[in-house]
Amino acid sequence: MTKSLLQLLSERDPAANAIVHHDQVLSVGDLLRDTALLAAGFQKAGLKPGDTAVLAAMPDAGFVRIIYAALICGLRLAVIDPEMGRENYREKLKQLNPQWAFVDYRLLLLQEHPLLRWAYFHWSKKGIYFPRSPGIKIIACGKWMPIFQKHISLKSLGTPFRGGLEERGPETEFRGTSDFLITYTSGTTSVPKGVVHSVGAITASILQIADLIRGGHNRRIATHLPYFAIIGLNAGVEAYLWEYHSSAEQQLDFIQKHQITTLFSPPCDYLPLIEWCERNDAQFPDCLQHLFFGSAPVHRSFLERLIAVLPNHIRLTCLYGMTENLVVASIDGRVKATLPTDSGDILGQAVAGVEIQIAADGEIMVRSPQLYTRYLHQETRDAWHASGDLGFVDAEGRIVLTGRKKDMIIRRNFNLYPGLYEPTINRIPGVTECAFVGIFDETKHDEVVALFVETHRPITASAFRKQLERGEYSIDREALPDMIFFERLPRAGRQNKVDKNALRARLRQHEAVSKGLWG
């Protein structure tokens, strides 16, 4: 029988460091004690098993405490990306109908002061906000701020008192089939797709990644995402939370100062570090031992740039997964950087316990113990999850991604799979990342195809065009775009994935004589 996350944590040395944030150290014993106290406080405040609570706390040690305490109490935690926009947030709150919300004091302050809110959204590029929601009981967390609305302070819930769950320990953690975590798939849909995970599925996912981290020289993991900190805790390493918006130089100094051995982030988080090293003819610190990449495609072009600024001993692991099944496949990054991209993006072999089928239309189907329970607006799910990704399994047993099903562009009688060509184009010197998009032209009765290209050094349109037409980076003639635009790619969400909906909107706005027009 698989042990629970709290049982695994309780088996560690209580004196060992668990989380370090802003030079404040929380030991394993501290975390277990604080979690038990907080769970008891939840019960006293009226939170009941099965209650739904939105988590709009800042990613810090308090976030981790809430997750562990929620496990003990049997809560359903809903995590909504705070950068998705206010209307989108309201729609998801309406669907969730939560009883509780853990909200940072600063977000509550914005609710109460219209002028402050106006200034914040005027100057902030990615403003976040928690809309006023009557009927939801608020538990305020983070640094105290003077607010007037009715609320409970999270700090007060962690105060010791008699007769609480503090005396009962981690065995009170709810059974594996209980609903626990609700997250949302990226993109905007008419019906928000809330993905419900059970305690067992989340535990299986965390332990799957923890097994990849455990052992070797991995001792200290740095991340700005609390989920990865929990993975580190279950791998037996110290978790250091750093500031997401700190500069590349500050992050590299942080790694060196704290002798960080392991990093876990989406590829976009590594780009500023790579660019700083390229500009300063430097390398990543020698203390690093293992870099993990998740939550977004890991392109060969990215790996080639990264490897050029890494000491040779640092291992790279690329993970492929999705909101519905967090870990599907993995591959060694140094190996991936040497593999061809002409057939698609090689994701590696399925991890233990994950089964793969390829549907008749090429869609990748997944089944595993990690699989989500259902979508929030549905009662059940199919035994096999239709991933929305197109691909195949090659002769080596590796999953090869050819694109997103919804991103497939049908032009004339040709099916253009962006994922089949973007990895090759990304390898053109000077290209950071590219994206194909198409929109239907009613006068032509066909798709107009555009290629948006973000570069990190100058590149001429004519030279780029020649690269696409012939030579090492050439693509099928049927896939050549009608238009090419050299622009910074729009990104969305915490993982900064390329926002193809925004690119389609850009394409509609561009005039026919825009730069890069050809064909």
Q: Which two tokens stand for residue 282?
A: 């430097």
Task: Give Cα 417 to chain centroid, integer Å.
Answer: 24
Beta strands in 359-511 (DSSP E): 363-367, 374-375, 385-393, 399-404, 409-411, 414-416, 431-441, 446-455, 483-486, 491-492, 497-498
Helix or strand or coil: residue 9? helix
Burial group, residue 369, by CB count within 10 angstroms (0-12, 13-18, 19+) = middle
Burial group, residue 386, by CB count within 10 angstroms (0-12, 13-18, 19+) = middle
For residues 358 and 430, membership in a common domain is answered with no
Q: Which two tokens stand for residue 351?
A: 């991890």
For residues 124 and 113, membership in a common domain is answered with yes
Spell out the residues 6+ positions from residue 382 whose beta carbon is closer than 8 angstroms to its own: none
For residues 49 and 112, membership in a common domain is answered with yes
3 state SS for 65-122: HHHHHHHHHCCEEEECCCCCCHHHHHHHHHHHCCCEEEEEHHHHHHHHCHHHHHHHHH
**Residues 140/153, Cβ–Cβ less than 8 Å:** yes
Burial group, residue 171, by CB count within 10 angstroms (0-12, 13-18, 19+) = exposed
Rounded CA gap, 82 and 414, in Å?
A: 39
Report which secondary-structure segment, H or E, holds 331.
strand 325-332
Q: Name the domain count of the chain.
A: 3
For residues 128 and 92, membership in a common domain is answered with yes
Does residue 467 fall inside a structural domain? Answer: yes
Q: What is the pLDDT of residue 164?
A: 44
φ, ψ dihedrals at 347, nearest 5°: -95, -15
The domain boundary, picked from 138, 156, 174, lies at: 174
For residues 155 and 131, membership in a common domain is answered with yes
Does residue 504 fall inside a structural domain? Answer: yes
Does residue 10 fall inside a structural domain? Answer: no
Q: Which amino acid is at 279?
A: R
**Residues 226/66, Cβ–Cβ less than 8 Å:** no
Work out the number of other CB atoms within 10 angstroms of the CB of residue 357: 12
Place of tokens 């047993």: 397
The per-residue DSSP string of 194-219 comes to: EEEEEHHHHHHHHHHHHHHHSSTT--
Residue 331: closest CA among 314, 351, 313, 312:
351
Greatest pairwise CA separation for the chain in angstroms: 76
Does residue 197 fall inside a structural domain? Answer: no
Q: Which two tokens stand for residue 7?
A: 């049982």
> Based on C-alpha coordinates, what's the Rg of the chain?
24
**Residues 401/362, Cβ–Cβ less than 8 Å:** no
The per-residue DSSP string of 435-473 comes to: EEEEEEETTTTEEEEEEEEEESS---HHHHHHHHHSSTT
Give me the CATH number covering residue 53.
Answer: 3.40.50.980
Task: Give Cα 95 to chain centroid, integer Å.
Answer: 22
Give me the CATH number covering residue 236.
Answer: 3.40.50.12780
pTM score, two decimals? 0.78
Helix or strand or coil: residue 189? coil
**Residues 399/355, Cβ–Cβ less than 8 Å:** no
For residues 455 and 330, membership in a common domain is answered with no
Residue 293: closest CA among 320, 261, 323:
320
DSSP 8-state class, residue 142: S
Rounded CA gap, 216 and 67, in Å?
A: 28
Does residue 128 fall inside a structural domain? Answer: yes
Q: Which two tokens stand for residue 182?
A: 């609700």
Does residue 519 fall inside a structural domain? Answer: no
Q: What is the pLDDT of residue 85?
A: 60
For residues 262 and 329, membership in a common domain is answered with yes
Each residue's pLDDT expressed in tens, for the chain with a length of 519 residues: 567 788 888 888 999 988 988 878 889 999 999 999 999 999 999 999 999 999 988 878 888 899 999 999 999 999 876 655 666 677 788 888 899 999 999 989 988 888 888 887 777 756 677 888 888 999 999 889 999 899 999 999 976 544 444 444 444 555 667 889 998 875 444 567 889 999 888 888 888 888 888 877 778 998 887 778 888 888 888 899 887 778 999 999 999 999 999 998 888 788 899 999 999 999 999 999 999 987 667 888 889 999 999 999 999 999 999 889 999 999 999 999 999 888 888 999 999 999 999 999 899 999 999 999 999 888 889 999 999 888 999 999 999 998 878 777 878 767 788 887 888 899 899 999 999 998 877 666 678 899 999 999 889 888 999 999 888 888 888 889 999 999 999 887 656 678 888 898 899 887 444 434 444
For residue 262, the enclosing domain spans 202-406
For residues 369 and 460, membership in a common domain is answered with no
- Residue environment code for 286-300, b if the CB has 16+ CB neighbours within 10 A, otherwise e: ebbbbbbbbbbbbbb
Q: What is the pLDDT of residue 162?
A: 40
For residues 291 and 354, membership in a common domain is answered with yes
For residues 259 and 369, membership in a common domain is answered with yes
The domain boundary, picked from 406, 429, 462, lies at: 406
Rounded CA gap, 39 and 74, in Å?
A: 10
Does residue 12 fall inside a structural domain? Answer: no
Rounded CA gap, 468 and 480, in Å?
A: 7
Give me the CATH number covering residue 454.
Answer: 3.30.300.30
Does residue 8 fall inside a structural domain? Answer: no
For residues 233 and 305, membership in a common domain is answered with yes
For residues 439 and 398, membership in a common domain is answered with no
